[in-house]
Structure 1
Amino acid sequence: MLNNKRETLNNIKQDFTIKDLENISGIKAHTIRIWEKRYNLLEPQRTNTNIRYYSHKNLQKLLNVVLLSKNNFKISKIAKMTDEEIFENSREVAFKEGLNDEAINAFKLSMLQFDKVLFNETYNRLLEVKSFKDIFKDVFIPFLNYIGLLWQTDTVLPAHEHFISNLISQKIHIKTENLEQQNTTSDKVFVLFLPENEIHELGLLYLNYELVLKGYNTIYLGQNLPLNNLNYFFKHNTKLCFVTSLTVQPYEDKVEDYFKEIEEILQNTHHDFIAIGRKTNLIKHNTYNFNVSFFDTVTDVLKQI
């Protein structure tokens, strides 16, 4: 994780426990303590009750150390470097070998510190060497998977997840808007929406971008759509493919009822339906009277389109 030389990040101070450092860096707390004691790599502070905590500068340094150690630098050699040398070597490694890892580390810190400037700087640097498709596949998807793990370990708050998700969402919207100025090459129309009370939108947003990139016409309806709204589109003779993604909603005991309602709407029509998400495994072996396909991930969908 390179150091952008800010004294504070958006003036937001955040302290980290050693367990936070473990979750964020992927290095076991025991190993971090060894690096700290044997090599003086980190300088924790203590509360009035003698509880250790680490500053964001400690976190930055640790992420840089991890990047170097993953690229054949021995810890004993890293320990002899000044902070500036660690930074310079990390930057060199990032551009030669570990750009994806470095970017993910930068996005980690931008999320934890609510630092949109760092996010945008990192994203723009990636755009210089990668396509948006590759950025999403190689960086954003692993990063979002990582956020899920941090959520499970209570390292991040909903505010962190919402902040970073909105920044990524902005990038998808911009790329999609640029493409939508071009004429579509297909008569088939994809209608994308999320179930009621479902807010996890990034996967569906990205699928919309990919569909537009492939020349399809799309209608993106977004979050929280009641199923009875789908009937409106039957007024047109266009061949439709409805697409939804299930992350949290509907709850597992309601998934079957949800698809029965979809069946009532779409049976006796010529339209298709795509459902994405691991929750579809609960009902994918059922028989339905409409054209429905189930996929675990957006990547799986793109392989078939």
Structure 2
Amino acid sequence: MENIQQDFTIKDLENISGIKAHTIRIWEKRYNLLEPKRTDTNIRYYSHENLQKILNVVLLSKNGYKMAKIAKMADEDMLLKSREVAFGSNTNDDVINDFKLAMFKFDKVLFDKTYKKLLLKKQFKKIVEDVFIPFLNHIGLLWQTDTILPAHEHFVSNLIAQKIHSNTEFIEPIVNKSDKTYVLFLPENEIHDLGLLYLNYELLLKGNKTIYLGQNLPLDNLKSFFDYNENLCFVTSLTVQPYKDKIEDYFNQVEGLLETSNHEFIAIGRRTSLLRTKDYKSNISFFDSITDILKVI
């Protein structure tokens, strides 16, 4: 998989690096910074090496180096200087860049090497908060702008999920006075479970009881929990499903399930803003993000 080649348009470089295409063209002309190839129809395209170089340029530029000085560096010197800056920097730009490169190359070795480097500086919880969440937010932008394929997103998401699973397994149970049990699930046809996996990790870390049901769960399956006398809080995350024209019907069904119980229902996702003006009789609440819900749990 490490030999997979990926070509990039100048728009891709803009989306990935955050540098405007117009600026990249100026750098090409003024400093001969990149050497794009051209298709038979004379359209520029850039190699993986070009992508790595532009990310290193951005890193150095953000850390006080002038473009005129950067442009004079040999490629090997630029790479070494970037590593030196990254090592002494308190920002996470360097590791996020490495994760981007690992994603585009489908390079698990680079991903694991970068993750292990992070573990020398941060606890897992801080890695998620400081690196994985900003990285995944950026992945969402790249996906929206057609810069990456679903295969890229799936590859890196599964690697991050593995890290969450492995860290969850090592949590030592602690006594929590709350009798509440959190039941975590995703709606039908919803597969984006990283946020929910991390919430499960945080809940367990704080001593809560959880039942993790995972992806693609029909709503009526929750009925099986209502025979228990436990204090339940159902938690779901809405990324894609249900669609905008179905979301109100979905929560009407949720209210129908809860109306004869005292159980809670929490929905996470900015799309739930469409429902916050509604007055539900049942105990239903909405949060924009995992970060927001963790502030109150």
Aligned twin of 1:116: 108
Q: Residues 67 and 98 of structure 1 are in contact (CA less than 8 Å); yes or no, is this contact kept in structure 2?
A: no
Q: State the alpha-carbon separation in 2 of the partners of residues 64 and 177 from structure 1.
A: 36
Aligned residues: 296
Q: 1:117-196 to 2 correspondence within 5 Å?
A: 117-179=109-171, 181-185=172-176, 186-196=178-188
Percent identical among aligned pairs is 70
Instruction: Measure how far apart 1:142 and its partner are.
Output: 1.2
Write the letter of the residue equivalent to 1:57.
Answer: E
Q: 1:184 to 1:10 in 2, by over 3 A?
A: farther
Q: Superposed, which structure 2 residues align to 1:182-261 within 5 Å?
A: 182-185=173-176, 186-261=178-253
Deviation at 1:145, TM superposition (A): 1.3
Corresponding residue for 2:96? 104
Give CA deviations for 1:95-131 in whole Å, capped at 9, x if unaligned: 2115410111111111111111111111111111011
Cα RMSD of the aligned pairs, angstroms, is 1.4
Q: Which amino acid aligns with 2:100?
A: K
1:16 aligns to 2:13 (yes or no): no
Higher mean displacement: 226-235 or 239-248: 226-235
Contact conserved, 2:187 with 2:242, CA < 8 A, in 1? yes
- Post-superposition, which runs of at least 4 consecutive aligned residues in structure 1 deviate over 3 A? none
5+ residue gaps, structure 1, are: 1-8
Secondary structure of the 1:189 match is strand
Render the CA deviation track for 1:160-196: whole Å, top value 9, x for unaligned. 11111111111111111111x5345343210000111
SS at match of 1:235: coil
Query: 2 CA distance for matches of 1:215 and 1:303?
Result: 15
* Partner Cα separation in structure 1 for residue 287 and residue 80 of structure 2: 44
Aligned residues of 1:184 and 1:217 also touching (Cα < 8 A): no
Q: Secondary structure in 1 aligned to 2:212?
A: strand
Please tell me the residue identity of whatever aligns with 1:288. Answer: Y
Q: 1:69 corresponds to which letter in structure 2?
A: S
CA distance, structure 1, for counterparts of residue 158 and residue 117 of structure 2: 19
TM-score under structure 2 length normalisation? 0.96
8 Å Cα contact 2:173/2:204 also seen in 1: no
- Alpha-carbon separation, structure 1, partners of 2:90 and 2:48: 22
Residue of structure 1 aligned with 2:31, choices 36, 39, 52 = 39
Task: Write the distance in 1 (CA, Å) between the matches of 2:290 and 2:50.
Answer: 37
